[in-house]
Amino acid sequence: MESASQPAPVSTKMLWAGRIVSALPALLLVFSAVMKMIKPASVLEGFVRLGYPESLILPIAGLELVCAVVYVVPRTAMLGAILLTGYLGGATATLVRVGEPFYGPVVAGVLVWGGLFLRDPRLRALIPFRCEAA
């Protein structure tokens, strides 16, 4: 029986599934941050199209990178998921504002929380999807 302070351990398969699902948005965000730091013409054009000044490219890249790193460290993963939710919410709002498809950041956000749900028993304890029979 589970105690309130110690949730059930994670199975090896669930842990690896969570790691893989978590790696997808983390790698996407790291790639995006690196591209912002390199500043190819397509990134500069995208920033202008989205209505952001070029001076914000590096601060946004840094924020993106920090959020991704905080998310992949197991001890701070919950905080990272919260930070990434805010970041991806801003990306979604920006895309909605300019009338572009906004599914990418939404899917990334679902993967962030889905991966964390699979690899962290504390989150599963907070959000139970099934009820035990009485």
Domain extent listing, the chain: 12-120
Whole-structure pTM value: 0.86
Q: What is the pLDDT along the chain (134 residues), one digit of tens a residue?
A: 455 556 667 788 999 999 999 999 999 999 999 999 999 999 999 999 999 999 999 999 999 999 999 999 999 999 999 999 999 999 999 999 999 999 999 999 999 999 999 999 889 888 877 656 55
Q: Where are the alpha helices (DSSP H) in the chain?
A: 12-38, 41-50, 57-72, 77-98, 103-119, 121-126
* pLDDT recorded at residue 1: 46
Distance CA 26, CA 109 (A): 10
- Placement of tokens 């709002």 in the chain: 93
* pLDDT recorded at residue 11: 85
> Which has the closest alpha carbon to 32: 1, 57, 4?
57
